[in-house]
Amino acid sequence: MRLRHIKGAEEEIAASPYVIHEPEQQKGRWHEVFGNHNPIRIEVGMGKGKFIMELAMKNPDINYIGIERYSSVLLRGLQKRAELEIPNIVFMCIDAQEMAEIFAPGEVDRIYLNFSDPWPKDRHAKRRLTSDRFLAVYDKILKQEGIIEFKTDNQDLFRYSLESIPAAGWTVDACTFDLHHSEMAAGNVMTEYETKFAAEGKPICKLTASRRMKEEAPAYNK
């Protein structure tokens, strides 16, 4: 995916009061950043931030962290944040592989993965956010009862994830190949991409996963 670089994006991010710089220094101390001990939920690859900022507004008793590795994309989110009063959210410009150096074991309550790059070529499979390499990172930072929520429009990536997640020792607790026409649609907050795809009538896939191993796998809602 080719992204248009915005001149001065890095400088604006460096000056933003909404961005946590040198986040590894907050490892095990994120409650001090927010000034409370509320649960922490993160979105990996937040894009322009519509999804996570809407969640933060709806849930003031939960703390949110938006993670975006591309400065030009994060900048768009910061510009939107400046127009809103949402004290329970901060942002980081990092690569998701670094998260185990930033969060202590059990410090994160939930991880959202929304419309991530499918990396369709087999040789790039390890770059997918539902690959065993990334699942190992999530395992280090999530609470024991922590949850992953994953949404995508790419059915190949979704089918891959339905295999890779259990193979890594996780349980797929619920899943659907058509989110907006399923029971999982209750309380759904849409991302920018999701809004666009929904308008086009394109089905959205979603799953939730945890590390609590269960005897029975869920039935797929097609």
Q: How many CA atoms lie within 13 A of 64 on its CB side?
A: 23
Q: How many CA atoms lie within 13 A of 106 on its CB side?
A: 3
- Judge whether 88 and 60 are in contact, CB under 8 Å: yes
In whole angstroms, what is the distance from residue 212 CA to residue 42 CA? 20
- Judge whether 128 and 97 are in contact, CB under 8 Å: no
Residue bearing tokens 């979704």 = 158
In whole angstroms, what is the distance from residue 68 CA to residue 36 CA? 24
Catalytic residue among 117, 122, 132, 153: 117
- Whether 156 is catalytic is no
- Judge whether 27 and 104 are in contact, CB under 8 Å: yes
In whole angstroms, what is the distance from residue 94 CA to residue 26 CA? 14
Give the chain's length.
222
User: Angle 148-213-109 (CA atoms, 0-180°, nearest 5)?
Assistant: 30
**Which residues are catalytic, by number?**
117
